[in-house]
Structure 1
Amino acid sequence: MPDVTTPYAPGTPCWVDLAAPDQQAAIDFYAGVLGWTGEIGPAETGGYAVCQLNGKPVAGIMAAVPMGDQPAPPTVWTTYLSSADADATARSVESAGGTVLMPVMDVMTLGRMCIAADPTGAVFGVWQPVDFPGAGVVNESGALIWNELNTSERSAASAFYKAAFGIETSEMEGAPHYYSLTVQGNPVGGMQPMPEHLPADTPSHWLTYFAVADADAAVAKVTAAGGSAIMEPFDMIAGRMAVVTDPQGAVFAMIHPKPMEQG
């Protein structure tokens, strides 16, 4: 079901957001490419924009500005993993060998969050929902459909996410060297060793996938709007996908998924 009607189980990717130097330009770009609506938020939220698809929250876009004595965040999409207790999760992250980069904080009455990195350097967010559970629509055109960890050390990453979040890892049938991340028996994301086509100094990272009705047409929209294709559309086990950057350099993937097999 595209509309999310039940809480996200702890360890499940529940939200993605982007830090962009030009927030309004980013909102306009994703509106044109993925059909979102959104506007810069009020001052009390730091202008954070909760973008929507068909009236449901789909992703966040914030201004990449320095916060206190911290430099501006990088222009990247961040994957947030759901948590029942952000403080406990932060402790688990550290005990499992990860690093808490931004300590747990309240986001008004919406929830509690922190930013962390796994032992291989991949950065992710932790979200403990209160009034805001996360994405209200997934797995349909224009919405989040997959979150993928590209890691320099698969075994270390597998051990970390199991210890910190209870996420299980298993090799995906029909996809050599690709691993399914599961929570309570349900696939919630993927993991693979760092792809060979990436530069040797590319850090471990989470890649955000958005579903599209036509991957080739979507890439054409990206390039027409000033973005570029890192990997042109190609067919793979789950559908037809591409990896692109927006005009400000944020990398993301788009996929036209194959229809789900009916059991």
Structure 2
Amino acid sequence: MAEVTRYAPGTPCWFDLVSPDPAASKRFYGGLLGWTSYTLTIDTLGDYDMFTLGGVSGPTVGGMQRLADPAQPPSWTCYFRVESVEGAARRIEAAGGVELLPPTGIANLGRVGMYSDSQGSDFAVWEPRDVEGADVAGEPSALYWAELAAYEAESARRFYGAVFGWEAADRGDRTGWRVGPRPVASLVPMDEKRPGGWIPYFRVADVDAAARRGAELGARVAVPPRDAAAGRVAAVVDPLGAWLAMIAPDRVGEGLPGAG
């Protein structure tokens, strides 16, 4: 398993979950994706769980915080790699985004800022210091790409093109976004089946088996397994209400760094 040493600017580099019951989330994702975890105590965040592959000392794949406001739904937040949080903040605000958390240092790990896009979907930007992002991506049980459901597709294209320089192209029933030659994210219309916002796609060997396993662990299968332009996909809502998707890609070498 090759570890990622650098993410290109504009690339999804991390996802974290906000959960009202971290113990229940650990059981679910451990059963679904084989993750284990350990806890960091960070002065600006409090306790922060790091999800890993292959045991506690294995490479990181994502994180988790306790949901502070019980009125808010559990969800995943996507972090995009940038060279400068302040520079990204200026582009975000110029494009119509809203600041939720100003540029903030996270110990010696890096700097983060959190924002809502021009249609109200939340995301974060990450300027690394000692931590580039997830140790592995594109590998089985790790982040493969990110997907946004938006009400106005053309507005989303303009916003993220201005912020990250993404190039957009239609790809089957989705808009694909690329950083250079590599696809890193996609855009779909928001409808009654799918709420707006960003969700992660995790790579699995068998989407049908993973969807069945998710249901056995208490998830709701929101989008049953089906064939799409990039491979076989499914989406589930975890037992606490957070959306995620799974993909078995049909083209080797696409997705985030390390995909193969």
TM-score (ref. length: structure 1): 0.88
Following TM superposition, by how much is the alpha carbon of 1:259 offset from its aligned partner in structure 2, in angstroms? 4.1
> In the alignment, does 2:154 pair up with 1:162?
no
Contact 1:96 1:163 in 2 (8 A): yes
Distance in structure 2 (CA, Å) of the matches to 1:211 and 1:261: 12
The alpha-carbon deviation at position 185 of structure 1 amounts to: 3.3
C-alpha separation in 2, matches of 1:102 and 1:19 = 15
Q: Does 1:140 align with 2:117?
A: no
Q: Distance in 2 between matches of 1:15 and 1:72?
A: 25
Residue pair 1:64, 1:72 contacting (<8 A) in 2 also: no
Aligned twin of 2:199: 207
Larger strand proportion of the pair: 2
Q: Give 1:213-224 correspondences, 5 Å limit.
A: 213-224=205-216
- SS of corresponding position for 2:123: strand
Residue 28 (structure 1) aligns with: 27
Once residues 233 and 244 of structure 2 are traced to their aligned partners in structure 1, the CA distance between those partners, rounded to angstroms, is 11
Whether the 8 Å contact between 2:5 and 2:132 is mirrored in structure 1 is no
Query: Which ranges of structure 1 fall in alignment gaps of 5 or more residues?
Result: none
In structure 1, what is the Cα distance between the partners aligned to 2:177 and 2:138?
A: 17
Q: Are 2:59 and 1:63 aligned? A: no
Q: Take 2:226 and 2:169, find their aligned partners in 1: how far apart are those partners? A: 25
1:16 aligned residue: 15
Query: Please, which moves more after superposition, 98-107 or 231-240?
Result: 231-240
After TM superposition, give the deviation of residue 117 of structure 1 in Å: 1.1
Which protein has greater RCO, CA pairs closer than 8 Å, 6+ apart? Answer: 2
In the alignment, the residues of structure 2 paired with residue 219 and residue 56 of structure 1 have an alpha-carbon distance, to the nearest angstrom, of 24
Alpha-carbon shift at residue 143 of structure 1 (Å): 0.6
- TM-score, scaled to structure 2: 0.89
User: Out of 240, 246, 252, which is 2:244 matched to?
Assistant: 252
1:119-130 to 2 correspondences below 5 Å = 119-130=118-129
1:134-160 CA distances to partner (integer Å, 9 max, x unpaired)? Answer: 011112221111111111111111111
Q: Quick one: distance in 2 between partners of 1:240 and 1:10?
A: 28
In structure 2, the CA distance between the partners of 1:98 and 1:113, relative to structure 1 (3 Å rule), is: same
SS at match of 2:241: coil
Match of 1:229 in 2: 221
Tell me the secondary structure at the aligned position of residue 160 of structure 2. helix
Aligned runs of 1:152-191 on 2, under 5 Å? Answer: 152-172=151-171, 175-176=172-173, 178-191=174-187
**Contact map agreement 1:162 1:168 (CA 8 A) in 2:** yes
Distance 1:9 1:260 in 2: 19
Distance in 1 (alpha carbons) for counterparts of 2:253 and 2:107: 42
In the TM superposition, residue 125 of structure 1 has moved relative to its aligned partner by: 0.9
CA distances 1:166-222 after superposition (whole Å, capped 9, x unpaired): 1121222xx14x22211133221111222x4527xx4x3112111111112212221
In structure 2, give the amino acid aligned to 1:65.
A
The number of equivalent residue pairs is 250
Match of 2:51 in 1: 51
Quick check: 2:4–2:134 contact (8 Å CA) kept in 1? no
Paired AA for residue 205 in structure 2: A
| 1:41 corresponds to | 40
Give 1:23's aligned amino acid: P
Quote how far apart the aligned CAs of 1:232 are.
1.7
SS at match of 2:10: coil
**Alpha carbons of 1:237 and 1:184: their partners in 2 closer, same or farther (altered >3 Å)?**
closer
User: Counterpart of 1:10 in 2: which secondary structure?
Assistant: coil
Q: Distance in 2 between matches of 1:50 and 1:151?
A: 29
